[in-house]
């Protein structure tokens, strides 16, 4: 006797299977009409699950804190020394990037998301103080997300899974690690709580790059609209400074070195000039060979100091112009605006998704229940 697992559903007083045997292939196939009939007969159970999950979704949407989002659009300065024109379009079709072949050595905009998600940026942002209107305090983001930030009930439920690890640490007597090396410029040591805060910040900052137009859009999401705008402004300034340091770091270092040598040369020149003038004033009526020899020596020191001073002054101006010429510019196309409309929670979307999940969950529960009944039968 051929064994067949049958999904049995109560349809009135009869029991039918949702599978049928194909006479040609002798294989099992799903009887969709029978499946629809089963779902229709159990529609009340499915509707109950839909309503239950919809209510849970509404509770979540009305208890979640408001989130505000602001966007700023940047246009990096082109570093190309020529206009590819139609050739650039043909090269793009062939998969060749002429920008990469250009020797400008500019900062690749595709790395902007990595800059704004780096530990150095997130840590410097978290240590800045902002004024929050809700709790009416001025604190750092580290302090805000630790003591003042609002959370939805779902986030508290998700934290339940951390209770065993917290209890294990408490029983073992482990003390939470403290970040004592925040100001180290080469590496960082964060506590577990700080890592969670930095992850939260990273999720609130997004960078979208348009590969065709080259425009960069930075999006910031915070619970305070004014802090949201301030964080966006800090991100733009940090990104601009980072690109400038990357692109003109060598020229800027050279300019600072020449500037220091110029200050020393000017100081030595002023000393030599003062010595020569003082000597001439004291020996105006004395005409001896020793006096003339000493005066010539002082004049020689003065000439050398003046030539070095003049040369370094010219080099300093050239280095300054070089830095100014090589400094890239990020133009702000869409300025930062304080958002006045909340971006989250999206209650309609939450209601639709929760209702859909409730319907699918009800169908799964129905099938599992009837499948278990079929195996027992």
130-160 pLDDT, tens digit each: 888 877 888 888 888 888 777 766 665 655 5
Q: Where are the alpha helices (DSSP H) in the chain?
A: 32-41, 43-63, 86-93, 98-101, 112-116, 119-126, 141-143, 153-158, 163-172, 192-204, 225-247, 249-282, 289-326, 347-376
**Residue scoring higher pLDDT (300 or 183):** 300
Q: What is the pLDDT of residue 90?
A: 46
Q: Whole-angstrom Cα distance, residue 104 to residue 266?
A: 35
Give SS3 for 248.
Answer: coil
Rounded to an integer, the average pLDDT of 274-281 is 86
Q: Whole-angstrom Cα distance, residue 281 to residue 143?
A: 68
Phi and psi (nearest 5°) for 209?
-115, 125
Non-local CB neighbours of 287 within 8 Å, separated by 6+ positions? none
CB 355 within 8 A of CB 57: yes
Q: What is the pLDDT of residue 86?
A: 45
* pLDDT at position 6 over 80: no
Domain ranges of the chain: 8-61+352-376, 67-247, 251-326
Is residue 262 left, alpha or beta, with left meaning phi > 0 and alpha meaning psi from -120 to 50?
Answer: alpha
R_g (Cα) of the chain, nearest Å: 37
Tokens coding 247: 């692109």
Closest CA to 38 of 377, 371, 375, 376: 371
Class of domain 67-247: alpha beta
Q: What is the pLDDT of residue 84?
A: 43
Tokens coding 366: 């129905």
**Tokens 């027992």 belong to which residue?**
376
% of the chain beyond a pLDDT of 70: 70
Burial class (CB in 10 A: 0-12, 13-18, 19+), 30: exposed
* pLDDT at position 81 over 80: no
Start-to-end CA span in the chain (Å): 17
161-202 pLDDT, tens digit each: 555 655 555 565 554 444 444 444 566 778 888 888 899 899
Burial class (CB in 10 A: 0-12, 13-18, 19+), 255: buried
Phi and psi (nearest 5°) for 115?
-65, -45
Q: What is the pLDDT of residue 176?
A: 47
Q: What is the pLDDT of residue 186?
A: 61
Q: What is the pLDDT of residue 180?
A: 44
């Amino acid at each position: 006797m051929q064994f067949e697992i049958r999904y049995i559903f109560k349809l009135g007083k009869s029991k039918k299977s949702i599978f049928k045997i194909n006479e040609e292939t002798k294989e099992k196939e799903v009887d969709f009409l029978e499946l629809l009939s089963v779902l229709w007969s159990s529609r009340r159970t499915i509707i109950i699950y839909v309503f239950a999950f919809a209510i849970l979704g509404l509770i979540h949407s009305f208890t979640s804190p408001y989130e505000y989002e602001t966007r700023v659009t940047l246009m990096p300065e082109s570093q190309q020394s020529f206009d590819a024109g139609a050739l650039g379009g043909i090269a793009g079709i062939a998969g060749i990037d002429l920008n990469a072949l250009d020797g400008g050595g500019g900062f690749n905009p595709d790395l902007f998301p990595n800059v704004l998600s780096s530990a150095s940026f997130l840590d410097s942002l978290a240590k800045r103080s902002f004024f929050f209107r809700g709790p009416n305090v001025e604190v750092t983001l580290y302090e805000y997300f630790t003591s003042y930030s609002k959370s939805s009930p779902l986030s508290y439920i998700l934290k339940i899974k951390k209770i065993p690890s917290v209890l294990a640490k408490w029983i073992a007597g482990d003390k939470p690690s403290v970040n004592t090396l925040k100001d180290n410029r080469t590496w960082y040591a964060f506590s577990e709580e700080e890592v969670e805060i930095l992850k939260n910040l990273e999720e609130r900052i997004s960078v979208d790059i348009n590969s065709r137009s080259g425009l960069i859009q930075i999006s910031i999401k915070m619970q305070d609209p004014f802090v949201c705008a301030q964080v966006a402004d800090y991100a733009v300034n940090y990104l601009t400074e980072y690109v400038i340091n990357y692109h003109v770091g060598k020229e800027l270092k050279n300019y600072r070195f020449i500037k220091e040598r110029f200050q020393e040369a000017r100081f030595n020149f002023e000393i030599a000039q003062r010595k020569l003038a003082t000597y001439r004033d004291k020996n105006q009526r004395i005409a001896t060979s020793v006096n003339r020899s000493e005066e010539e020596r002082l004049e020689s020191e003065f000439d050398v100091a003046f030539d070095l001073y003049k040369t370094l002054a010219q080099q300093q101006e050239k280095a300054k112009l070089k830095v100014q010429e090589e400094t890239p510019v990020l133009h702000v196309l869409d300025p930062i605006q304080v958002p006045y409309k909340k971006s989250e929670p999206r209650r309609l979307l939450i209601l639709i998704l929760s209702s859909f999940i409730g319907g699918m969950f009800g169908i799964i529960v129905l099938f599992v229940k009837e499948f278990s009944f079929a195996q027992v039968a």
